């Protein structure tokens, strides 16, 4: 199971300080490749990954939810892809998000980068497999599913996961190429100015 600490945000995305510390394309590629490697590791893991989403997801957090095999969330776990608002775009997480919720919903999230979509929106579009009103209800459901999977055939689950992710074999290269795009864009004057603005809010 994948979870984050705290009770508020599940993942608020990349920190502005880390983005501003990027001062050349090589560092940009290295930084955004971290997201690429994580998504690819989740994709290739032979076991199902359950993600526990107890709060809001921004940017990379949406990517983590999408890359999980089964996401269980609580009401209030709203989502936003804010990358375009700071002059880049969800290039690295994009393939995982589009795969999970479809091109139309992914396009909406990407273009209106300032708008939050509520957790029910995310559930209806398949980003969340389950949505619960209370944290304890979410945790009970996670425990139930984890116990069920612990007693299921490991080989069958591995083969099923391979089928679920069929057609993504090229992502090892694709996501690194996408990381290079983000790494270049974050160096632009536009991005630097927008990041500074958001940092002051």
CA distance 40 to 29: 16
E-state strands within 28-89 = 50-53, 57-58, 70-74, 79-80
The backbone torsions φ and ψ at residue 142, rounded to the nearest 5 degrees and listed phi first, read: -65, -45
E-state strands within the chain = 50-53, 57-58, 70-74, 79-80, 130-132
pLDDT in the model for residue 122: 98
Give me the tens of pLDDT residue by residue for the chain, a chain 201 residues long.
Answer: 899 987 789 988 888 899 999 999 999 999 999 999 999 999 999 999 999 999 999 999 999 999 999 999 999 999 999 999 999 999 999 999 999 999 999 999 999 999 999 999 999 999 999 999 999 999 999 999 999 999 999 999 999 999 999 999 999 999 999 999 999 999 999 999 999 888 776
CA distance 86 to 113: 9
CA distance 183 to 195: 14
For the chain, domains (ranges, CATH) are 16-195 (3.90.226.10)
pTM greater than 0.85 = yes
**Location of structure tokens 């007693």:** 151
Print burial letters for 60-85: b (CB count within 10 Å at least 16), e (below 16): bbbbbbbbbbebbbbbebbbbbbbbb
pLDDT in the model for residue 6: 79
């Amino acid at each position: 199971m994948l979870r984050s600490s705290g009770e508020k945000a599940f993942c608020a995305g990349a920190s502005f300080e880390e983005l501003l510390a990027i001062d050349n394309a090589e560092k940009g590629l290295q930084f955004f490749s971290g997201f690429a490697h994580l998504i690819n590791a989740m994709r290739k893991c032979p076991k199902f990954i359950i993600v526990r989403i107890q709060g809001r997801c921004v940017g990379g957090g949406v990517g983590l939810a999408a890359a999980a095999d089964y996401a269980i969330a609580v009401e209030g776990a709203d989502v936003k892809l804010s990358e375009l608002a700071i002059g880049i775009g969800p290039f690295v997480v994009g393939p995982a998000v589009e795969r999970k919720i479809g091109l139309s919903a992914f396009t909406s999230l990407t273009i209106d980068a300032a708008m939050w979509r509520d957790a029910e929106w995310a559930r209806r579009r398949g980003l969340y497999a389950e949505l619960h009103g209370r944290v304890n209800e979410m945790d009970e459901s996670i425990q139930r599913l984890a116990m069920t999977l612990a007693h299921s055939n490991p080989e069958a689950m591995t083969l099923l996961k391979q089928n679920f992710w069929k057609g993504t074999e090229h992502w090892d290269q694709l996501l690194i190429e996408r990381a290079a795009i983000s790494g270049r864009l974050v160096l632009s004057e536009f991005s630097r100015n927008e990041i500074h603005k958001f940092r002051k809010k």
